[in-house]
Amino acid sequence: MADLAKLVAEKNQQRAAMKKEYFKLLTNPNAGGGHVFDPAVQRHGSMRVTRIEHFRETPKNFLGMLLFVALPLAGTVYLIKSRRKLEMIWWRASTFAVTQSDRMHMSWSELLMAFDAGAVSAWTRMEGTSKTFYEETPENT
């Protein structure tokens, strides 16, 4: 525990020394402009600008792009489209009439309460079976 306290104190001393040096450079009237040039930041910016000149396409790069960009994007699009399609089937199969303008001004809870009466029979008709999303009991009918 004493070692940890010693390390924390040393880190704080280093931080204070760096802060003091930074403000000394920043407020130097002979430096001009109030800008502190940091070569590491300049190297990082230059590397980012010239990255395309040093990038080599390989099968590993392509696989990485596919796994981390293309597949998540395609999966998200699929989920959104399938949910929208299911929602439209649900709305069209329902027994009650809710217009587009009504749906725009209703909250989700109001929609669910309004839809509850017709939803069970709509799902039954849509699936062609007597099985519904949830069992009809005296509590939820």
Closest to 120 in 3D by CA, of 133, 106, 110: 133
User: pLDDT by residue (tens digit) across 47-100?
Assistant: 999 988 888 888 998 999 999 999 999 999 998 888 887 777 776 666 555 566
Are residues 98 and 141 located together in one domain of the fold?
A: yes
Overall number of domains in the chain: 3
The pLDDT assigned to 141 comes to 52
Find the mean pLDDT for residues 116-139: 49
Domain that holds residue 100: 94-141
Are residues 48 and 61 located together in one domain of the fold?
A: no
Q: What is the mean pLDDT of the chain?
A: 76
- One-letter amino acid of 140: N
H helix count then E strand count, the chain? 7, 0
Are residues 1 and 28 located together in one domain of the fold?
A: yes
Are residues 81 and 49 located together in one domain of the fold?
A: no
Predicted model pTM: 0.35
Are residues 100 and 89 located together in one domain of the fold?
A: no
